[in-house]
């Protein structure tokens, strides 16, 4: 039987995170990062960045335990909801068609537990709100422009990549080794490096949600802001420049441990012959262009994801080699070069003790 056509996904659109303390989350996302409050309820906050005109790009909902409740993609037309429903029913996964307003500000939607185990929503219609692009009177020094991508942890990266390619996503970059093990992959629908990144590990888990700024100085201001508040502990990694994507980055942990990336200066990928960039897992510039180490928590920790009933999804273990195991020594240092034929690392080591 012919497979129904997939929905035409435009881009990643919003994430819904469960937080245990809504006031603490509001301080982090609104007071610190400067996201705009579109709507506020006793148990939920709906937030957007300065250039966004859809109702929200982040929902924070109070719950008993931190988790990712939903990753949402916008599709090109209302007809794509029918395509999404038919496509996922053919895949044999759980599918829900939900009426407009089930999530405040969002029109009719299709929710699925995708083949990778993630709770995913597809929608087209959404309430429009004021776009603050030129409200410079409201922009702080660290102004965030828009949501950029999701990063998810999944055991089998090639299988996950094939699934997203079936949805029309294209690969921009990946990390491999000489034996063909794929450790991570970056895929896009909008013409930038990615809308979703796949990180190899026990999953399904959500690694991070990323928001874009226009300038590196805005990311540096966030660091200065946290330093002034005596909260540098919320900076997990960075600031730095990625090799993969070439973007300037900063990773933060919110009060519940959810990881948020602030991201800028990646590149255009919209041409049909955009070349795929493949990184060797032993190239210490892949994750940080300056050769700085990846802290162990970045590899080891990620957010629980929920099913459509709000229950935690069970984890499936990764059976292939893990990136941290082949690039980070037992002392917590990262190697700058692949080991020589005798097994000894070449070059010097960078990093900090754990």
For residue 39, is pLDDT > 50? Answer: yes
For residue 62, is pLDDT > 90? Answer: yes
Residue 91: band (very low, low, confident or very high) from pLDDT cuts 50, 70, 90: very high
Q: Show the tokens assigned to 133.
A: 């692009």
Nearest to 350 by CA among 321, 324, 329, 322: 329
Distance between CA atoms of residues 131 and 57, nearest Å:
13
For residue 353, is pLDDT > 50? Answer: no
Q: What is the pTM of this model?
A: 0.94
What pLDDT does residue 289 have?
93
Answer whether 95's CB lies under 8 Å from 230's CB: no
Q: Position of tokens 């050769």?
A: 291
What pLDDT does residue 78 have?
97
What pLDDT does residue 293 have?
84
Cα–Cα–Cα angle for 186, 106, 125, nearest 5°? Answer: 80
Distance between CA atoms of residues 138 and 133, nearest Å:
10
Using DSSP's 3-state secondary structure scheme, residue 108 falls into: coil
Report CA dihedral (331, 337, 341, 344) to the nearest 10 degrees.
-30
Tell me the per-residue pLDDT of 214-270, one tens digit each, with 9 for 90 and over. 999 999 999 999 999 999 999 999 999 999 999 999 999 999 999 999 999 999 999
Q: Are β-strands 205-212 and 303-304 bridged in parallel, bridged antiparallel, or unpaired? A: antiparallel
Average pLDDT over residues 131-140: 95
Nearest to 168 by CA among 92, 76, 93: 76
Residue 354: band (very low, low, confident or very high) from pLDDT cuts 50, 70, 90: very low
Collect all residues with Cβ–Cβ distance below 8 Å to 53 and sequence separation of at least 6: 128, 129, 130, 131
Q: Show the tokens assigned to 247.
A: 């973007």
For residue 291, is pLDDT > 90? Answer: no
Tell me the per-residue pLDDT of 306-343, one tens digit each, with 9 for 90 and over. 999 999 999 999 999 999 998 875 555 555 455 565 65
For residue 148, is pLDDT > 50? Answer: yes
Distance between CA atoms of residues 249 and 258, nearest Å:
16
Nearest to 284 by CA among 340, 322, 327: 327
Distance between CA atoms of residues 11 and 323, nearest Å:
27
What pLDDT does residue 277 have?
98
Answer whether 188's CB lies under 8 Å from 165's CB: no
Average pLDDT over residues 53-77: 98
Average pLDDT over residues 137-153: 97
What pLDDT does residue 346 have?
52
For residue 124, is pLDDT > 80? Answer: yes
For residue 345, is pLDDT > 90? Answer: no
Residue 292: band (very low, low, confident or very high) from pLDDT cuts 50, 70, 90: confident
Q: Position of tokens 């330093």?
A: 227
Answer whether 302's CB lies under 8 Å from 312's CB: no
Average pLDDT, the chain: 93
Residue by residue, DSSP assigns 246-288 as: --EEEEEE-TT--EEEEEE------STTPPPEEEETT-TTTT-
């Amino acid at each position: 039987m012919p497979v129904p056509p997939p929905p035409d996904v435009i881009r990643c659109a919003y994430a819904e995170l469960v937080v245990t303390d809504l006031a603490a989350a509001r301080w982090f996302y609104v007071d610190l990062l400067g996201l705009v409050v579109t709507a506020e309820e006793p148990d939920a906050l709906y937030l957007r960045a300065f250039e966004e005109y859809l109702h929200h790009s982040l929902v924070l909902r109070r719950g008993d335990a931190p988790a990712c409740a939903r990753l949402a993609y916008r599709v090109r037309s209302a007809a794509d909801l029918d395509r999404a429903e038919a496509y996922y029913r053919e895949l044999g996964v759980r599918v829900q068609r939900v009426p407009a307003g089930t999530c405040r500000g969002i029109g009719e939607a299709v929710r699925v537990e995708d083949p990778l185990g993630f709770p995913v929503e597809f929608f087209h219609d959404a309430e429009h709100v004021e776009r603050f692009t030129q409200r410079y009177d409201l922009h702080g020094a660290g102004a965030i422009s828009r949501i950029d991508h999701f990063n998810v942890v999944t055991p089998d990266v090639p299988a996950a990549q094939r699934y997203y390619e079936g949805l029309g996503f294209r690969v921009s970059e990946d990390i491999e080794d000489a034996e063909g093990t794929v450790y991570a992959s970056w895929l896009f629908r909008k013409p930038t490096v990615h809308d979703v990144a796949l990180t190899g590990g026990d999953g399904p888990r959500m690694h991070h949600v990323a928001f874009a700024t226009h300038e590196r100085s805005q990311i540096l201001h966030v660091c200065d802001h946290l330093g002034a508040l005596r909260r540098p502990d919320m900076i997990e990694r960075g600031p730095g420049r990625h090799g993969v994507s070439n973007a300037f980055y900063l990773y933060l942990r919110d009060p519940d441990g959810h990881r948020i990336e602030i991201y800028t200066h990646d590149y255009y990928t919209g041409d049909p012959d955009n070349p795929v960039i493949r990184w060797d897992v032993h190239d210490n510039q892949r994750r940080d262009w300056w050769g700085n180490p990846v802290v162990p928590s970045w590899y080891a920790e990620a957010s629980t994801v929920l099913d459509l009933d709000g229950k935690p999804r069970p984890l499936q273990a990764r059976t292939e080699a893990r990136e941290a195991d082949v690039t980070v020594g037992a002392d917590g240092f990262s190697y700058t070069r692949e080991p020589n034929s005798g097994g000894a690392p070449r070059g010097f080591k960078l990093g900090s003790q754990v």
